[in-house]
Structure 1
Amino acid sequence: MNDATRVLVLNSGSSSVKYQLIDMAGGDRLATGLVERIGEPAGALVHRAGDARRTVEERYPDHTAALKAVAEELRRDGLGLDSPELAAIGHRVVHGGTRFTQPTRIDDAVLEALRGLVPLAPLHNPANITGIEVARALRPDLPQIAVFDTAFHATMPEHAWRYAIDKETADANSVRRYGFHGTSHEYVSRRTAELLGRAPESVNVIVLHLGNGASASAVRGGVCVDTSMGLTPLEGLVMGTRSGDLDPAVIFHLHREAGLGVDEIDALLNRRSGLIGLCGANDMREIARRMGEGDADAQLAFDIYVHRLKKYVGSYFAVLGRVDAVAFTAGVGENSIAVREAVAGRLSVLGIELDSVRNGVRGDSPRLVSAPTSRVAVAVVPTDEEYEIARQAFALLRQD
């Protein structure tokens, strides 16, 4: 490995590309940006580097055009893809299946294997692969490293990841619990341990990643032993537009009694359920506003959301045996005082005591919001998935 310390992190979606350029020597973000509406008549690129902020509005017909535009904006700031200080490009890949459980240097064989995993993540992996292909074409000489959302959860024991269905059928079709948001859960569990002044290996943490997508994990000594999402990101907590846990027979009932087809039920459960299905809004700020006005649907949606969270927190106490901290992260977890109060404030029987003053303080740094007398720490830890991807990619380079 040379002395280059910069990692460009790419998160390629079906119609967008998010990126960050991070210098791992000090963890500084040299540039961040987003290209939106790729393939549509009118696109936009928002780029930030230092104090500079630029918006470019034009059509980006495909990911090649979008990434070339990103490269040009980086070049304008002296941070181009041809810089000798650029060590690697790290790619977020949603699904690694059972094969990819560690950061992986991408070559033709790896790329072909990723294409084989598309059926497990048909909405996400194709876009991730496109971003990889374009980046490799732009810098074929540069290490390209895939970091997988599912990887952190690969340590779950079989009794946690296996569904109780016929084993041969499950194995033949790769049906098992994989879990997602892994880079966030890994980052937050580690940062929580640091916040407590302890080594990750000595700390048991329940991580609650609460954004529009939401998931929980039980982390014992830095190792995931259970998580709420399953074969897909649909299982688990109530989310912005996803139902979370559901009796599977609901699907058969809707097909037989309502005449809904498979695709219609898929759309219902993934896009028109959760908070938006319960009250017509999936933004917790809007729900809180409506609750304040006495809106019964908003209140019910909030109560169902919190009830599911409490069930998972309680079950993960049982799984872990000892819990040192509960960590809230992502958009809702970091910013909703009411959600944290409703969840943690009702779990005093488990040794959780929230400090209302601390909980009411907003900030961008990891912080404790539990009372000094609380047996279990309650933390708010802003997630940083891009940094975690860069960290893992850079660590892999240093091993070579």
Structure 2
Amino acid sequence: MSILVLNSGSSSLKFAIFPEGQEDASVEGIAEQLNSDAAQVVIKRDGKKSETALSGADHKQALQFILEQLPETPRAVGHRIVHGGEHFTEPALVTSKVIDEIRATVPLAPLHNPGSLLGIETMVELYPELPQVTVFDTAFHQTLPEFAYRYALPEKCYRDYSVRRYGFHGTSHSYVSKAAAAELGFDLENSRVLVAHLGNGASTCAVLNGKSVDTSMGLTPLEGLVMGTRSGDVDPSLHQYLATAAGMSLEEINNMLNKESGLLGLSQGASNDMRTLRGLASEGNQPAALAIEIFCYRLAKSLAALCVATGGLDYLIFTGGIGENDPAIRERVTEKLAFLGLEIDADANANHGENNHGIITTADSPATALTICTKEEFMIAQLTAQTISK
């Protein structure tokens, strides 16, 4: 029996099938550029990749095609939902009430939740008999204390409009902190852990005794670190200033902050990919070098600040595409955090800690840094199986 994991966007649909008890997907892929002539489905199976054109296909047609390619009908479906607001502190079986509550959070995540709803409603229409579970990126952070999640705004902003810090990447932060404890044999419920999830989207999280107590993202995934195309933290008066000085609309400013900023903006449009920027920087490209330096500085500053929430540091986990695969970024960040007791082992870091449970610090380093491969889709499959078994 297998679990189908879906991550539905406005014009794309990522999917993966996890046989029961297996951490690796047996089939995975993506339907992309949906509702256009360029729509296609890419499927990876047994180390081979196939591409099928589905010109003009919508989500329903793409899902029908995908399900026809699977070796069996899945036991259940797990949906990744970016924003659950304050409604959801754990995974939930899909019901009409749950769908309505997700729809109520659309104003908080207008770029993500409409696509998720489309995926849920399409699967319910196609396979109404299949149990379906929603897994929320925000749920892990619902343990933040009020003094950590509230903004210094009038009470009515929180009471009437749900303006607060929610945090994201919760499935990843939860998975890697548990995986690190299992790999190294420490007691997660008596530990001080920081997690740096670094990819095109990036966030940090303070995990104290197994619970999220603070995180870098806020009301939306725009707050916090420098990311691929997102600015991260900026002065809240920026919108007013650019509207007055540059005549930009609210929509134009939001588009710039989400899609034209971050590494891409700092590198003067060169790239939002850290690998490309590191290559350019090695050739003397100054904007690329500056983008990398700002990325590392802001990341180190965020991690240091989160130690206020944990009261110190036992373990620092690097995960995500950059966190798992870029020794130079890890070295630069840990060097900035040497005062926290992190002593990098250059050789271990160069091979991603492969010979010692992912550990990239020296044996006598007071705090331990390590790399853990995040498996968000597997975590969703696991949570889905646990939820339907209840």
After TM superposition, the score normalised by the length of structure 1 is 0.94
Cα pair 1:19 1:32 within 8 Å, conserved = yes
Query: Pairwise mapping of residues 85-124 of structure 1 onto structure 2 (< 5 A)?
Result: 86-124=74-112
Distance 1:269 1:364, change over 3 A: farther
Please name the residue that 1:172 is paired with: 160
Is the partner of 1:35 in helix, strand or coil?
strand
Cα pair 2:6 2:80 within 8 Å, conserved = yes
Query: Pairwise mapping of residues 227-238 of structure 1 onto structure 2 (< 5 A)?
Result: 227-238=215-226
Q: Any idea what the Cα deviations from partners look like across 1:152-186, whole Å, max 9, x if unmatched?
A: 11110000000001011332111000011111111
Q: Which moved more, 1:193-202 or 1:385-394?
A: 193-202
Cα pair 1:41 1:59 within 8 Å, conserved = yes
CA distance, structure 2, for counterparts of residue 99 and residue 59 of structure 1: 38
Please name the residue that 1:65 is paired with: 61
Q: Any idea what the Cα deviations from partners look like across 1:78-123, whole Å, max 9, x if unmatched?
A: 22x2xxxx32100001110100111000011111221111111111
Is the partner of 2:316 in helix, strand or coil?
strand
Please name the residue that 2:193 is paired with: 205
CA distance, structure 1, for counterparts of residue 205 and residue 169 of structure 2: 10
CA-CA distance at 1:398 after TM superposition? 2.1
Please name the residue that 2:360 is paired with: 369
CA distance, structure 1, for counterparts of residue 225 and residue 364 of structure 2: 29
CA distance, structure 2, for counterparts of residue 46 and residue 309 of structure 1: 34
For residue 14 of structure 1, the aligned residue among 10, 18, 42 is 10
For residue 139 of structure 1, the aligned residue among 100, 103, 127 is 127
For residue 369 of structure 2, the aligned residue among 370, 375, 378 is 378
Is the partner of 1:375 in helix, strand or coil?
coil
1:55 maps to 2:46:
no
Counting matched residue pairs gives 387
CA-CA distance at 1:362 after TM superposition? 4.6
Q: Any idea what the Cα deviations from partners look like across 1:16-50, whole Å, max 9, x if unmatched?
A: 11111112324342211111111110222111233
CA distance, structure 1, for counterparts of residue 378 and residue 187 of structure 2: 20
Query: Pairwise mapping of residues 1-400 of structure 1 onto structure 2 (< 5 A)?
Result: 5-74=1-70, 78-79=71-72, 81=73, 86-279=74-267, 280=269, 281-362=271-352, 367-399=358-390
CA-CA distance at 1:251 after TM superposition? 1.6
Cα pair 2:149 2:164 within 8 Å, conserved = yes
Is the partner of 2:228 in helix, strand or coil?
coil
**Stretches of 4+ moved more than 3 A in 1?**
362-366
% same residue = 44
Is the partner of 2:272 in helix, strand or coil?
coil
Q: Any idea what the Cα deviations from partners look like across 1:233-286, whole Å, max 9, x if unmatched?
A: 110000111111111012211112211111011011111111111112211111
Q: Which moved more, 1:20-29 or 1:91-100?
A: 20-29
Distance 1:364 1:32, change over 3 A: farther
Residue identity in the other structure for 1:344: T
Q: Which moved more, 1:43-52 or 1:369-378?
A: 43-52
CA distance, structure 2, for counterparts of residue 198 and residue 359 of structure 1: 21
CA distance, structure 1, for counterparts of residue 347 and residue 353 of structure 2: 13
Cα pair 1:329 1:382 within 8 Å, conserved = yes
Cα pair 2:27 2:43 within 8 Å, conserved = yes
Cα pair 2:143 2:213 within 8 Å, conserved = yes
Q: Any idea what the Cα deviations from partners look like across 1:43-81, whole Å, max 9, x if unmatched?
A: 22111233453221221421000100101111xxx22x2
Is the partner of 1:32 in helix, strand or coil?
strand
Q: Any idea what the Cα deviations from partners look like across 1:287-317, whole Å, max 9, x if unmatched?
A: 1111111111111111111110111111112
Residue identity in the other structure for 2:98: V
CA distance, structure 2, for counterparts of residue 162 and residue 238 of structure 1: 22
CA distance, structure 2, for counterparts of residue 240 and residue 159 of structure 1: 29
CA distance, structure 1, for counterparts of residue 354 and residue 23 of structure 2: 16
Is the partner of 2:313 in helix, strand or coil?
coil
CA distance, structure 1, for counterparts of residue 144 and residue 20 of structure 2: 30
Cα pair 1:337 1:359 within 8 Å, conserved = yes
CA distance, structure 2, for counterparts of residue 273 and residue 34 of structure 1: 26
CA distance, structure 2, for counterparts of residue 243 and residue 154 of structure 1: 25
CA distance, structure 2, for counterparts of residue 367 and residue 200 of structure 1: 17
CA distance, structure 2, for counterparts of residue 190 and residue 24 of structure 1: 20
CA distance, structure 2, for counterparts of residue 364 and residue 332 of structure 1: 16
CA-CA distance at 1:397 after TM superposition? 1.7
CA distance, structure 2, for counterparts of residue 179 and residue 22 of structure 1: 27
Cα pair 1:8 1:390 within 8 Å, conserved = yes
